[in-house]
Amino acid sequence: MEFRRINGMPPYVLGVIDGLKKEARRTGADVIDFGFGNPDLPSPEIAVDKLAEAAHMEKNHRYSQSKGIPKLREAFADLYLRKWNVRLDPETEVISTIGAKEGFSHLMWVLLGPGDCALVPSPSYPIHIWGPLFAGANVRDLPVGINQTDDEFFDALVERFQSSWPKARVIVLSFPHNPTTQCVDLAFFQRVVDFARENNVIVVHDNAYAELGFDGYEPPSILQADGAKECAVELYSMTKSFSMAGWRVACMAGNAEVIGALAKLKSYLDYGTFQPIQIAATVTLNEAQDHPKVVREIYQSRRDALCDGLAKIGWEFPKPKGTMFVWAPLPEPYRQMGSLEFSKMLVTDGHVAAAPGMGFGPGGEGYVRFALIENEQRTHQAVRNLRRALDRLSP
């Protein structure tokens, strides 16, 4: 049988590691899993309580609104004002999405078509590559390096835009960046916005890790930049900030025309997230405002446990300033193995699962990504396992 759109997709590399992990566990091995960025922290108690309460009300079982209930959109607008001093009209500049992936991929359908072009960071979160491709567009890689400065990345963006034909209609960004953990400041976003306005480009910023900045770093919103609403939209998700991954609650905010276009498409595709979930998310945004700070402290502590532990066994690299990940270059004695074979060895010899960098596009080769989803005790055990498995390292 012949299918469309999925035929060109490569095998899901993370699935290979997942298979090895399951096989090892069947033999009794305790595999410590840093492979999939699936938050393990519980959702706020207030969210769970409100969900249960709202789910017992029969009226909430009916169809909702594809753009989100008004109170939820108002709560997202209040968050932007509170956190970034950005004023949004919840009626025209905010739309609720069924998680960030749904909002991003469907937005690509209204912004891009066959023959169009999008600039996408490389390496990249997979949907940032495949969203434009599913829309029939071409993708031009925008290299992101672990030690790249804001100036170097902006210069690369301009060079890629000017050398591409056709010129890109969309620039995809996501900072703090998954998988490389690269971070930028507001001045960078201002330069991007100025460039986009001059060149009639739409910027789509996936701010998935908006609350996960470490060591005093506060991730900016692109909507803080002057003129951003003329050319940019941004995704904000409750997945990591509020540990609500399975709830699928996010929003897209910014340019009213783009928000309106997505709203029109979604009106044909869905009726929004289950209304009790939207109600619970609204109450959480309004009444659990300090929860992201608690989450941030836990992830920073886990980051320190992993990075400090790896440094002690001879695997040393700079600590990330943001995200819930650690992007680690393959240790020199193992570099020739490549990220996939190295990741396989970590599972079989060290009982530690990590994501091979090649799974994030060609720019990811030579790295592995650790998701900070294990507690500190398990993280310390993982380091002890790796000390034994990586016997070529010199502490």
Q: Does 256 have pLDDT greater than 80?
A: yes
**Judgement on whether residues 252 and 270 belong to the same structural domain of the protein:** yes
Residue 354, SS3 per DSSP: coil
Please give the share of the chain, as a percent, with pLDDT higher than 90.
86
**Judgement on whether residues 306 and 205 belong to the same structural domain of the protein:** no
- pLDDT tens for 55-65 read 999 999 998 98
- Residue 6 lies inside a defined structural domain of this protein: no
Distance CA 132, CA 117 (A): 8
Domain end among 243, 263, 287: 287
- Residue 53 lies inside a defined structural domain of this protein: no
Which segments of the chain does DSSP mark as H helices, in order?
13-26, 45-55, 70-84, 100-111, 126-134, 150-163, 186-199, 238-241, 256-269, 275-287, 291-312, 339-350, 376-389
Q: Does 24 have pLDDT greater than 90?
A: no
Confidence of residue 312 (pLDDT cuts 50, 70, 90): very high
- Residue 26 lies inside a defined structural domain of this protein: yes
How far is the CA of 134 from the CAs of 3, 330, 362, in angstroms? 13, 32, 19
Distance CA 352, CA 345 (A): 9
232, 220, 235, 253: which is closest to 321 by C-alpha? 220
How far is the CA of 116 from the CAs of 75, 136, 171, 259, in angstroms? 35, 8, 12, 20
Q: Do 72 and 282 contact (CB within 8 A), yes or no?
A: yes
Confidence of residue 36 (pLDDT cuts 50, 70, 90): confident
CATH number, position 141: 3.40.640.10
State the DSSP string of 121-146. Answer: EES--HHHHHHHHHTT-EEEEEE--T
Look at the chain and report how many structural domains it folds into: 2
State the DSSP string of 39-108. Answer: --SPPPHHHHHHHHHHHT-GGGGS---TT--HHHHHHHHHHHHHHH-----TTTSEEEESSHHHHHHHHH
Domain end among 287, 321, 344: 287
User: What mean pLDDT comes out for the span 31-39?
Assistant: 88
Confidence of residue 13 (pLDDT cuts 50, 70, 90): low
Q: What is the mean pLDDT of the chain?
A: 94
- Residue 36 lies inside a defined structural domain of this protein: yes
> 260 lies in which domain range?
62-287
Domain end among 266, 287, 308: 287
Q: Does 395 have pLDDT greater than 80?
A: no
Q: Do 225 and 173 contact (CB within 8 A), yes or no?
A: no
Pairing of strands 117-122, 138-143: parallel
- Residue 132 lies inside a defined structural domain of this protein: yes
Contacts of 198 (CB under 8 A, 6+ apart): none
**Judgement on whether residues 208 and 129 belong to the same structural domain of the protein:** yes
At 145 the pLDDT is: 83
Distance CA 341, CA 345 (A): 6
Between 376-389 and 339-350, two packed helices, what is the crossing angle to 10 degrees?
Answer: 100
Phi, psi angle pair for 202, to nearest 5°: -95, 130
Where is pLDDT greater, at 192 or 29?
A: 192
**Judgement on whether residues 235 and 296 belong to the same structural domain of the protein:** no
- Token code pair at residue 115: 């023959």
Q: Does 11 have pLDDT greater than 70?
A: no
Distance CA 273, CA 252 (A): 14
**Judgement on whether residues 210 and 230 belong to the same structural domain of the protein:** yes
Q: Which residue has the tokens 């029109």?
A: 264
**Judgement on whether residues 280 and 296 belong to the same structural domain of the protein:** no
CA-atom Rg of the chain in angstroms: 21
**Judgement on whether residues 229 and 251 belong to the same structural domain of the protein:** yes
Strand partners, 122: 143
Instruction: Quickly count: other Cβ atoms within 10 Å of residue 352's Cβ.
Output: 26
- Residue 50 lies inside a defined structural domain of this protein: no
Confidence of residue 267 (pLDDT cuts 50, 70, 90): very high
Give the max Cα distance, the chain.
64
**Judgement on whether residues 283 and 358 belong to the same structural domain of the protein:** no
Confidence of residue 12 (pLDDT cuts 50, 70, 90): low
255, 288, 325, 353: which is closest to 23 by C-alpha? 353
Confidence of residue 14 (pLDDT cuts 50, 70, 90): low
**Judgement on whether residues 38 and 68 belong to the same structural domain of the protein:** no
**Judgement on whether residues 358 and 212 belong to the same structural domain of the protein:** no
Q: Does 393 have pLDDT greater than 90?
A: no
- Residue 176 lies inside a defined structural domain of this protein: yes
Where is pLDDT greater, at 148 or 104?
A: 104
Q: Do 365 and 357 contact (CB within 8 A), yes or no?
A: yes
**Judgement on whether residues 159 and 252 belong to the same structural domain of the protein:** yes
Amino acid at 313: I
At 3 the pLDDT is: 81
Q: Does 220 have pLDDT greater than 80?
A: yes
At 22 the pLDDT is: 83
**Judgement on whether residues 70 and 214 belong to the same structural domain of the protein:** yes
- Residue 333 lies inside a defined structural domain of this protein: yes
CATH number, position 298: 3.90.1150.10
User: What mean pLDDT comes out for the span 225-241?
Assistant: 97
Q: Does 16 have pLDDT greater than 90?
A: no
